[in-house]
Each structure stands twice: as C-alpha cells, then as structure tokens.
Amino acid sequence: DIQMTQSPSSVSASVGDRVTITCQASQGISSWLAWYQQKPGKAPKLLIYAASSLQSGVPSRFSGSGSGTDFTLTISSLQPEDFATYYCQQANSFPYSFGQGTKLEIK
Amino acid sequence: QLQLQESGPGLVKPSETLSLTCTVSGGSISSSTYYWGWIRQPPGKGLEWIGSIFYLGSTYYNPSLESRVTISVDTSKNQFSLKLSSVTAADTAVYYCARHRGVTPYFDYWGQGTLVTVSS
C-alpha cells in the first residue's frame, strides 16, 4: 500500500500569508494526486486534482505542484475562509489513500 | 446541481451489519462517466476510502475491508448502498458517499456525511 505523509501536521498563519503544505508518497505516483479542504462538520471539498489542475470554482490562490513522490499545495494569500484542514490523496493505485491531514490555524 | 445524501441507522451493535444508502439527485447514477464511492472518517481522524461502484455493478474495494464490505447500486432509485458486516467500535465513523469521474478517484461531489456509532 502507498503511504501518504503530510507536513506539517499543523501550521499557524495570518490572513494574507503565503502557505505551503507538502505531501510525500511512499512510492512514485506520477501526478495521480488530489488535494481536499475540510472544514469542521463538513465534507471534504476537492481543490486540486492531477497534482496541479484547479477544480472548477476553486479560487486561483490555490495551486498544486509536484510529481513522483513529492507534492505541494500552496495558498498564495490566505483568506479567512481558508482556515481548515487539508488532505492529500493518491489516486495511482489500490487502495486509494489519504494523508493524515494538515490543520491550518489562525495565528 | 448534483446532490448526494446518506441515510441509515446512526447506531449499530457490535458484530452486526452496518447498512447505509446514498441517494443521488440532480443527476443520473447511470452515467458512463462516473463512479460512486464510500469514504469514512473516524472522529478526529483522517479519511479512509472504502470502495467504489459503477452503475453496471462493477465494484472495487479497499483490501483492508474487502472481506466485510458490499457495495451495490439500484439505478431505478438512483441510489447506491454500503453494507459492512461484523462491525466493531473501530468502525465508528462519519461515512460519506461521493462521486468520482471514471476509474480515477478524484471525489468531486460529496454527501454531507452521516455518523455511525458502533456500541451495544
């Protein structure tokens, strides 16, 4: 099974900051990676798929990059509504697996 | 606008079978484009993919749960269902149904989720 490891587990930032979250796969997954945002009590929301493709309706301040085993999610200028937990997910092979999550908190 | 809604008991006894249904509205489950999946999240923890189904009935499951899981589809009702047998407290979680395009599981539409607690 492919293990997905996110770092950091939590991060504090301020509105307007640039934030980067990383995700590492235990083996190569090409670009088969998605990023989701989850707010408390809500379902996850797809932000990025295929490592760098922005899902329709997602603000352009979100971007993704990487391939192989190392990936990043960048939020260019944090907005108040961006404080949430973020998950990566590999879509390369069974069983499809998620990272443990990165909680983005207000500083 | 596509909507997914989970339904089923919120409390299941240990060793019994958990049964949930996802009703799809605003679109047809009988689309050749999409698969339909189940994902769960234990309280305060991360996400775990359970399995997915195509409207013609082909399924694929997480090997860690495969011996206990059955996912089925009812196209006449625009629904798909999850059964998880021999549950324990470790199966307590919020269960989500979701859609993904093709075999590649990027989940673009989700239900709101339903908490299932396993307890006697």
Give the pLDDT band (50/70/90) at residue A107.
Answer: confident
Those residues of chain B whose CB sits closer than 8 Å to some CB in chain A are 46-49, 60, 62-64, 96, 98, 104-108, 110-113
Q: Which of A39, A96, A103 to mutate to probe the B interface, most B CBs <10 Å? A: A96
Residues of chain A with Cβ-Cβ distance to B104 below 8 Å are 32, 91
**How are beta strands B79-84 and B18-25 bridged, if at all?**
antiparallel
pLDDT in tens, A50-101: 999 999 999 999 999 999 999 999 999 999 999 999 999 999 988 999 999 9
Q: Which residues of A touch B47 (CB under 8 A)?
A: 36, 44, 87, 89, 98
Contact A98 B105 (CB under 8 A): no
What is the pLDDT at residue B103? 74
Q: Which residues of chain A lie closer than 8 angstroms to B49, CB-CB?
A: 89, 95-98
CB contact under 8 A, A100 and B60: no
Helix (H, G, I), strand (E, B) or coil at A80: helix
pLDDT, tens digit (0-9, with 9 covering 90-100), for B47-68: 999 999 999 999 999 999 999 9
Listed range (A4-13, B47-56, B62-71, B94-103) with the worst mean pLDDT: B94-103
